[in-house]
Amino acid sequence: MVGYLVAYIQRQRGMEKEKDPYSPFRLWKWVTVLFQTALLWETVITIVFWLLLWGFGAHAGTFFHDFCDTSIVHLLPIIYLLIDYSLNRIYFEWNQVWIQMACFLAYGALNITVTKVSGHPVYGPMPWDSFGSWCIGLALLPFAFGAYTGFYFLTRWKFAKFKMDTNTVIFQSMFQRETTKENNNSLINSIENGP
């Protein structure tokens, strides 16, 4: 949230100069990749947890108590991220899928290493000692690729449907009409240059 606020303030005040548009040291690029990573990982984590891992958990209390505790960790984050995704203008670009897949591969390697070194699986169904557990673990990479592909096409649809690819400011306030960047610029020019 702070990253979005800083990027917005920099853009509005003209502090963000386009010296090198291909530089990786642009705040908006980092915010985009981090948001995509959070949304993609939470999507995969939520689906995998509720389909595979929920049944393997040790339920110490009642079902309702366990469900509520688990929902805070494995349901609320994806709800908040999907609300944010529906309102923001962060675009899922196809060339960024490889960054996400590299993160999934690195996490998979870390998971295998921790499981083999400690002798205890990080996740119950994936002890990495049988053909089935390797199939589950390796299936997560194409699953994540499919989820990213889904977000890519959903983003394209969202931008076209709600005309987010134009310079239209949709939510200035609840009671103001939709304004375009050109209208804002003409208003600023008339104020600066006089009537």
* Spatial CA neighbour of 11 closest among 169, 194, 156: 169
pLDDT above 50 for 177: no
C-alpha pair distances (Å), 191 with each of 11, 46, 102, 159, 167: 21, 51, 50, 32, 21
For residue 43, what pLDDT is reported? 95
Specify whether the CB–CB gap between 148 and 142 falls below 8 A.
Answer: no
CB 164 within 8 A of CB 89: yes
The per-residue pLDDT for 48 is 87
Share of the chain above pLDDT 70, in %: 67
Higher pLDDT, 127 or 68: 127
- On average, the pLDDT of the chain sits at 78
Nearest to 154 by CA among 162, 65, 139: 162
Classified as helix, coil or strand, 60 is coil
Is residue 11 within 8 Å of residue 38, measured between CB atoms?
no
Is residue 148 within 8 A of residue 100, CB to CB? The reply is yes
- Dist. CA 16–CA 19, nearest whole Å: 9
Give the tens place of pLDDT for each residue, 118-149.
999 988 888 999 998 899 889 999 999 999 99
pLDDT for res 144:
96
Is pLDDT of 88 > 50? yes
**Is 68 strand, coil or helix?**
helix
**pLDDT bucket at 174, cuts 50 / 70 / 90:** very low
Mean pLDDT of 56-60: 56
Average pLDDT over residues 46-68: 72
